[in-house]
Amino acid sequence: MLQQTELAGSFTLPGAVMNLNRMGYGAMQLAGRDGDKLVWGPPRNVEEAIAVLQEAVASGVNHIDTADFYGPHVTNQIIRKALSPYPDDLVIVTKVSARRGEDGSWIPAFSREELTAQVHDNLRNLGLDVLDVVNLRSMFSIHEPAEGSMEAPLTVLAELQQKGLIRHIGLSNVTPAQVAEARRIVPIVCVQNHYNLVHRADDAFIEDLARDGIAYVPFFPLGGFTPLQSAELSDIATSLGATPMQIALAWLLQRSPNILLIPGTSSRKHLRENLQAAALQIPSEVLANLNAIGKPEKEF
C-alpha cells in the first residue's frame, strides 16, 4: 500500500482552528468486559492499551474519541497515562449524557447536575483544564436516533462552554431535526451517528452536513460488536489485496470529505491495518459495487 504522511487528508472543524486528520481512533475498546457487561472495567492488558494509543499518535492520529462512561472512567485514565502531556495538535473528543448502572446498563443522565458532573469527570480523568469537543449524545432511544428536544441539556453545555470548560460542542445519535434545533442554540461542529457500509440511514444527512461544513463521525464504522460480514465485500477485498475491514474504512473515507473515522481496537496489529486503509484508493467501478451492498434505509 502507498505510504503517506497525512492519514487520508484532514478536516477543519467549523469555527475552530482544529485540523483533524480524517483517520482517527476510538477508545471504547480499551475498556474491558465483565461477563455480559460490555465496555466495563479495565482491559486485560493495560500496557498493550497504552502502546496502542502511543503508536496511534506516533503514526499521525490526532483525533481520539472517548467518553468517561467507558469503563466507567477507564479509557480516559488510560489515555492520560499513555499520552499526557498531550501533543499540541491532539484533539480529544468526549461525550456526555449517560451513566453506567451496576449491571453495566447505559442510563440517560441529562440533568444539569449530571451533565456538569460528567464534564468535570472528563476533565479530571483526562487531566485537562478544557475539553476540546464535547458531544451531547441523545438518549431518547439508547441504540438509535429518536426525536426529542435537546434544548435543555444543550443549554447546560453552552453555559459550561461560556465558562471556558468546553471549546466546541457536537451531537451524537441524533436526527436532522435535532441538529437544526441545536444549531439555533449553539454552534455544532460535528455529528456522530451509527453509519457504515451496510447501515446507510444517514446518506442524505451526511450530504446536508457537508454543505454546512460540519464533520460527520460514524460510530461502529466496522459494524461494532457484530463485525461487518458480506461475501461481496470479502471478494472485493481479496481482489484489491486488502482486508474487508480496510475496504470498509476506505469506502467511508471516499464517501464524503466531511467524514472522519474513529475505528477502535485494543490491538496494535489491528491498529496498523486500520491506518493502512487511509492509503487505499478504491476504483470507481468497485465503489459502485460497494454502494450496492448497503441499500439506503429509512431516513429520519
Q: Which of helix, strand or coil describes residue 99?
A: strand
Distance CA 151, CA 64 (A): 27
Q: Tell me, yes or no, if 70 is annotated catalytic.
A: yes
Q: How many helices and strands in the chain, by DSSP H and E?
A: 10, 11
11 membership: H or E segment, kind and range: strand 10-12
Give residue for cell 465558562: 163
Q: Judge contact between 16 and 167, C-beta under 8 A.
A: yes
Start-to-end C-alpha separation, the chain: 38
Closest to 219 in 3D by CA, of 195, 253, 248: 195
Q: Is the C-alpha dihedral spanning 179, 278, 70, 157 positive or negative?
A: negative
Q: Largest alpha-carbon pair distance within the chain?
A: 54
Distance CA 118, CA 4 (A): 38
Other C-beta atoms within 10 Å of 286: how many?
A: 16
In one-letter notation, the amino acid at residue 97 is S
Task: Name, in order, each residue with C-beta under 8 angstroms of 94's C-beta and a sequence gap of 6 or more.
Answer: 65, 66, 67, 68, 76, 122, 126, 131, 133, 134, 135
Q: Which of 25, 70, 86, 195 is catalytic?
A: 70
246 membership: H or E segment, kind and range: helix 244-255
- Catalytic residue numbers read 70
